[in-house]
Amino acid sequence: MTLVSVIIPTYNRSDLLPRAIDSVLKQTVDDFELIIVDDCSEDNTSEVVKRYNDKKIKFISHSKNQGGSAARNTGIKHADGDYIAFLDSDDEWMPRKLEFQVKCLESRSDEWAAVYCGTRGVRHGKTKTIRKIIGNVIGENPNSVHGKEGGEEVIVDILMTNLKHGGASTIMAKSDIVREINGFDESFQRQQDWEFLIRLLKVKKMAYVDQNLVITHETGYPSSDSLKESKSKLFGKFKGDIKYAESAGYPVRDAHLFELSRVYLRENNFRKGIGHLPSKTLSFRQYLQLSREIIEGLMQKL
């Protein structure tokens, strides 16, 4: 049996995919398989993968576009590893990512079934400079949570959008647990990793490796429509958890309304952006965040 199954879902990213593939093939852990699931791309993705001619690579193609969650689930069905690690096709790993995460889980008891790690973000596009400048002025969200470990107690940090887990590209989990919770919910087009982690944390615990082992590339943003739909699904699926968190004083709905407001303003939809602002008084930092989205939205139109 293979030690780690790495799953890369991809769609129309033949220009970026080699960077992700190369970062997997450079891992210091040798006992792995790489499963690339092409979600019915319209570019030359298949040709790019075939050029590698590597026995570690399994290439699977969907006959129709089904979304990232479905692509990951296809990979899970074909995975032979003790562990499953996910990598988005626009991100990349540092060479010792799998090594450190395998060592972490193998040093823990059976109740620890997943592990994530730190990230280093890289911005792209014509607005990257203004985002960096304003980001330096704003500083980090004082409520951000880095490196938290545990089980159900971590769920509230995910619901509040405070846990900085870096997305699916940081996650490695035991394959039997991934299958036990039935992988990813294919009805979610966005925030699939949040939904996946909440269900996982209800049955097992997640550890953390305190190193930036993933480079995330900011190549685009979800549309307001897809984000709103996913948030609606998240609130419907975990309404009991959200009700409990809010009764304990965590303003979950306000956190998600503020995130939606930012996206609407970035899309120059000022009516909906203002309409989705939470009812509570905003902090000075939040006003700066909204200003950044407005500036970025206007720059995109230039």
pLDDT by residue (tens digit) across 42-56?
999 999 999 998 999
- For residue 145, list its beta bridge partners: 163
pLDDT tens per residue across all 302 residues of the chain: 679 999 999 999 999 999 999 999 999 999 999 999 999 999 999 999 999 989 999 999 999 999 999 999 999 999 999 999 999 999 999 999 999 999 999 999 999 999 999 999 786 655 556 666 666 666 666 667 788 999 999 999 999 999 988 899 999 999 999 999 999 999 998 889 999 999 999 999 999 999 999 999 877 677 888 889 999 999 999 999 999 999 999 999 999 999 999 989 888 998 998 888 887 788 878 888 888 888 877 777 66
Please name the residue ranges forming H helices in the chain: 17-25, 45-50, 68-77, 97-106, 128-138, 155-159, 175-180, 192-201, 224-237, 239-247, 252-266, 270-275, 284-300
DSSP string across 172-241 = EEEHHHHHHTTS--TT-SS-HHHHHHHHHHTTSEEEEEEEEEEEEEE-----HHHHHHHHHHHHHHTHHH
- Third-level CATH fold of 2-218: Spore Coat Polysaccharide Biosynthesis Protein SpsA; Chain A (3.90.550)
Q: Which residue has the tokens 């996982």?
A: 200
Which residue ranges make up each domain of the chain?
A: 2-218, 220-302
The answer to whether residues 103 and 4 touch, using CB atoms and an 8 Å cutoff, is no
pLDDT tens digits, residue range 109-158? 999 999 999 999 786 655 556 666 666 666 666 667 788 999 999 999 99
Task: Report residue 40 CA to chain centroid gap.
Answer: 21
The amino acid at 164: K
Beta-carbon contacts of 270 under 8 Å, excluding residues fewer than 6 positions away, are 264, 294
